[in-house]
Amino acid sequence: MKTPRAWQRMLSGRRLDLLDPTPVDIEVADIAHGLAFVARWNGQTLGDYAYSVAEHSLLVEQIFARQQPAAPAKWRLAALLHDAPEYVIGDMISPVKSAVGPAYGELDARLTAAIHLRFGLPAQLPVKVKRQIKAADRVSAWLEAVQIAGFSQVEADKFFGKQDTELVGTLTIALRPPVAVRQDYTDRHAALLKEM
């Protein structure tokens, strides 16, 4: 019986083994490209362009930096990379993740560890930092829900928690072409690496 293929060829030429990913097979260009073309909310958002995981990641890093102004560049980089595994496994909405079960989380954790090591971060983030990034992620999800995904504020509060009105009042989601988002993601990644 033939073993199913568990690797993906990247545009950089790298061959990423999803079952045993290694840092040497991770390239930011592949991450930025993949995330710029992966739609959040299963594509169910307003606008002429899909709201990409790359755009979401840029917003989460921005929110994290506002919420944690003293955070070092390495934790801001971790915020930018928080959904990086989705460049190969896609963005599954929470109900699908629940249906798939723990296997999804295990795959995500393996990919996250390899990505972190590739860019000089610990394989597993400190719990406090992970919580802070998750808090920024919830703010982003709330903004996305209200501004582009058709949720009322009451619904968004129920699913993502009430947010700081001063913070969310200063942030507006703009949908852009994937190539522009890809470039901004790559540039932000480079800037944060330079600060580390």
Ramachandran region, residue 42 (left: φ > 0; alpha: ψ -120 to 50; beta: rest): left
pLDDT tens figures, 137-181: 999 999 999 999 999 999 999 999 999 999 999 999 989 999 999
Say what the pLDDT of residue 58 is: 98
Tell me if 13 is assigned to some domain: no
Tell me if 45 is assigned to some domain: yes
> Which CATH number covers residue 40?
1.10.3210.10
Query: Which parts of the chain register pLDDT below 70?
Result: none
Tell me if 1 is assigned to some domain: no
The whole-angstrom separation of Cα 18 and Cα 87 is 12
Tell me if 171 is assigned to some domain: yes
Residue 4: Cβ within 10 Å count: 5
Q: What pTM value is reported for the model?
A: 0.94
The whole-angstrom separation of Cα 43 and Cα 144 is 12
**Which residue from 55, 69, 49 is spatially nearest to 143, judged by alpha carbons?**
55
Tell me if 3 is assigned to some domain: no
Range of the domain at 88: 21-195
The whole-angstrom separation of Cα 39 and Cα 19 is 24
Say what the pLDDT of residue 104 is: 84
Tell me if 12 is assigned to some domain: no
Tally of structural domains, the chain: 1
Tell me if 6 is assigned to some domain: no
Cα 55–Cα 56–Cα 58 angle in degrees, nearest 5: 65
Answer whether 70's CB lies under 8 Å from 127's CB.
no
Say what the pLDDT of residue 137 is: 97
